[in-house]
Structure 1
């Protein structure tokens, strides 16, 4: 049976591989006792006057693995992983696979909840490859798609990889700020308009909703390009006439001009 005197030297020495070996197939009682010691160790290290990043960094990945194996709930594990990280800065070595390994070894029922909690921690304005890889890796093992969070929507548009269903991500596309420039740079207007798995009416209505919200011109231009790629029919414009009319008074001149043009064409064929 592994006790703290056995586990502690591997954490203190920054050895995540041996940490993973020591925490396999432990019963709940042993995990609880080790978790208490682990938390006390982290508190001591983080509050110690001698702590520096160079001293602390090698231990963080080992602690991440230990926490994933020992802490009692999805919420506590998610916080712990986010706080300690999964990559050693100096060497670039990551422990993502080890974290997945020790979590699967536990056979707990809360892994889908953990996937969602980690997905919610993905930033919506930049890529976090390590957290994204952990989310997708755990989702693949549990067989349950993660929530279509802001961070996963951003990652989809930034990388082209849909880490949950594309339809779920597309529905949220119009609620995440800052995506417009990415849409334009990645040829997304054409890709989205041509994607037969996506609901065309949802894309058009979502596009008008996003333009109505307003914002920075650089952001709105991407959605104007999406609207252009969708090339709405006169019938579609007539059906959504109130939404187009709401754009006429907007501060973004290209949006107002587009709405005016579409309404004029629709009225000529009424």
Structure 2
């Protein structure tokens, strides 16, 4: 059995590889016994005085691996990883593979829940490549696609890589703020409009919903471009007359102008 006196020096020395080796074959009882010591250690480190961040971040990575190996639930592991991080600042070394390894070795039933909890912690306004890689790796191990969270939607549009169902990401596209400029920069209006695996009606209705919801002009312009790329038919506009009429009073002039134009064409076609 690995005692805290054996594990502690590897954590304190910022040695995540040896932490992973020490905890690999522990049973549930041994992990539970070490958990309290680990929690106390982290609290002491965070409330104590440090020589410098240089000596702190390696310990954090080692603690991340230890927490992934010892803590009892998806919620506690997700919070622990988010708090202690996945990469050492000084060397740039990450512990993503080690975290996946120790979690895989545990054979716990809550890994799919952990994947979703980590995905929910991804920021919706910037990339967190380390957390995204961890989510991707754990999802591949479980074989279950994660939730289409705001962070995964942002990552999809920012990088072009879908870490869960593209259909699910596309449905959430219209609910995440700040994506408009990325749509325009990445030629996404054309890509989405030409993607026949996505539901066209969902894209059009979602686009109108996003324009109706309002926001900054820079954000809305990307969805105006998507609407233009979709080039709705007169029949589609007629079906969605109420949605277009709701845009006539929009404070963003280009949106109101688009709605008037589409409704006019639809009315002319019906004569």
In structure 2, the residue matched to 1:48 is 48
> SS state of the match for residue 33, structure 2?
helix
Find the aligned partners of 1:90 and 1:260 in 2 and give their Cα distance: 57
List gaps (5 residues or longer) in structure 1. Answer: none
Q: Is the 8 A contact 1:35 1:70 kept in 2?
A: yes
1:218 pairs with 2:215: no
> SS state of the match for residue 72, structure 2?
coil
C-alpha distance after superposition, 1:90-112 (max 9, x if no partner): 11000000000000000000000
1:147 pairs with 2:147: yes
> SS state of the match for residue 132, structure 1?
helix
Give the ranges of 4+ consecutive aligned residues of structure 1 lying more than 4 Å apart after TM superposition: none
How does the TM-score come out when normalised to structure 1?
A: 0.99
In structure 2, the residue matched to 1:60 is 60
C-alpha distance after superposition, 1:126-171 (max 9, x if no partner): 0000000000100000000000000000000000000000000000
Find the aligned partners of 1:63 and 1:165 in 2 and give their Cα distance: 32
In structure 2, the residue matched to 1:161 is 161
1:29 pairs with 2:33: no
Instruction: Give the drift of 1:51.
Output: 5.5
Instruction: Give the drift of 1:48.
Output: 0.8
Q: Is the 8 A contact 1:68 1:77 kept in 2?
A: yes
In structure 2, the residue matched to 1:171 is 171
Find the aligned partners of 1:120 and 1:236 in 2 and give their Cα distance: 35
In structure 1, the residue matched to 2:241 is 241
Find the aligned partners of 2:183 and 2:177 in 1 and give their Cα distance: 12
User: Where do 1:102-121 residues align within 5 Å?
Assistant: 102-121=102-121
Find the aligned partners of 1:103 and 1:50 in 2 and give their Cα distance: 30
1:195 pairs with 2:195: yes
Instruction: Give the drift of 1:239.
Output: 0.4
In structure 1, the residue matched to 2:99 is 99
**Cα-Cα RMSD:** 0.7
Q: Is the 8 A contact 2:50 2:56 kept in 1?
A: no
Find the aligned partners of 1:24 and 1:137 in 2 and give their Cα distance: 19
1:264 pairs with 2:264: yes
- Mark the CA change 1:118 to 1:51 in structure 2 (over 3 Å): closer, same or farther: farther
Find the aligned partners of 1:49 and 1:205 in 2 and give their Cα distance: 55
List gaps (5 residues or longer) in structure 2. Answer: none
Find the aligned partners of 2:155 and 2:20 in 1 and give their Cα distance: 29
Instruction: Give the drift of 1:49.
Output: 2.5
